[in-house]
Amino acid sequence: MAEQEQSHSELLALRRVKLEQLYENGVNPYPFFFDVTATSEKLKNSTGLIAQTPDTAERVSLAGRVMTRRIMGKAAFFNLQDSHGTIQVYIRRDDVGVENYNSVFKKMVDLGDIVGVRGFVFKTQTGELTVHAEHFELLSKALRPIPIAKETEENGIKVVHDAFSDKELRYRMRYVDLIVNPEVRETFRKRSMMVQEMRSFMLKAGYLEVETPILQPVYGGASAKPFVTHHNTLDMKLYLRVANELYLKRLIIGGYDGVFEFSKDFRNEGMSRFHNPEFTQVELYVAYKDYNWMMDFVERMLEQVAISLHGSTRVPVGEHIIDFKRPWPRIPMLEAIKNETGLDLSGMNLEQMQQAARGLGIQIDATMGKGKIIDEIFGEHVEHKLIQPTFITDYPIEMSPLAKKHRSKEDLVERFEAICNGKEIANAFSELNDPVDQRQRFEEQVRLREQGDEEAMALDEDFLRALEYGMPPTAGLGIGIDRLAMIMTNQESIRDVLFFPHMRPE
Helices (H), 220-323: 245-253, 291-310
What is the amino acid identity at position 118?
R
Angle between helices 182-204 and 291-310 (to 10 degrees): 140
Q: With contact defined as beta carbons under 8 Å apart, do 208 and 256 qualify?
A: yes
The Cα 500–Cα 495 span in angstroms is 8
Residue 22 φ/ψ, nearest 5 degrees: -60, -45
Q: How far, CA to CA in Å, does 108 sit from each of 6, 19, 79, 102?
A: 16, 8, 17, 9
- DSSP per-residue codes, 461-486: HHHHHHHHT---SEEEEEEEHHHHHH
- Alpha-carbon distance 214 to 238, whole Å? 10
Secondary structure of 63-87 in the HEC alphabet? EEEEEEEEEECCEEEEEEEECCEEE
How many Å apart are CA 24 and CA 386, to the nearest integer? 65
Three-state DSSP class for residue 450: helix
| Residue 215: its H or E element | strand 215-216
Do residues 284 and 301 touch, judged by C-beta distance below 8 A? no
How many alpha carbons fall within 13 Å on the CB side of residue 200?
A: 10
Exposed/middle/buried for residue 346 (C-beta within 10 Å: 0-12, 13-18, 19+):
middle
Q: Report pLDDT for 456.
A: 82
Measured distance CA(224)–CA(455) in Å, rounded: 4
Rounded to whole angstroms, how far apart are CA atoms 256 and 259?
A: 7
Closest of 506, 504, 502, 480 to residue 191, by C-alpha: 480
Per the DSSP assignment, residues forming a β-bridge with 431 are 403
pLDDT of residue 2: 47
Q: How far is CA 137 from CA 19, 105, 267, 493, in A?
A: 15, 9, 48, 40
Burial group, residue 89, by CB count within 10 angstroms (0-12, 13-18, 19+)? buried
Q: Which residues of the chain have pLDDT under 70?
A: 1-6, 150-154, 156, 158-162
- Compute how many other C-beta atoms are within 10 angstroms of the C-beta atom of residue 17: 11
Q: At what angle do helices 461-468 and 245-253 cross, to 10 degrees?
A: 20
In order of their start, the domains of the chain are: 3-140 (2.40.50.140), 150-180 (no CATH), 183-329+388-497 (3.30.930.10)
**Considering all CA atoms of the chain, what is the largest pairwise distance in Å, rounded to the nearest integer?**
89
Which of 278, 276, 82 lies closest to 185 in space, CA to CA? 82
Q: For residues 60 and 35, what is the distance between their CA atoms, to the nearest angstrom?
A: 10
As a whole number of angstroms, the distance between CA 15 and CA 146 comes to 12
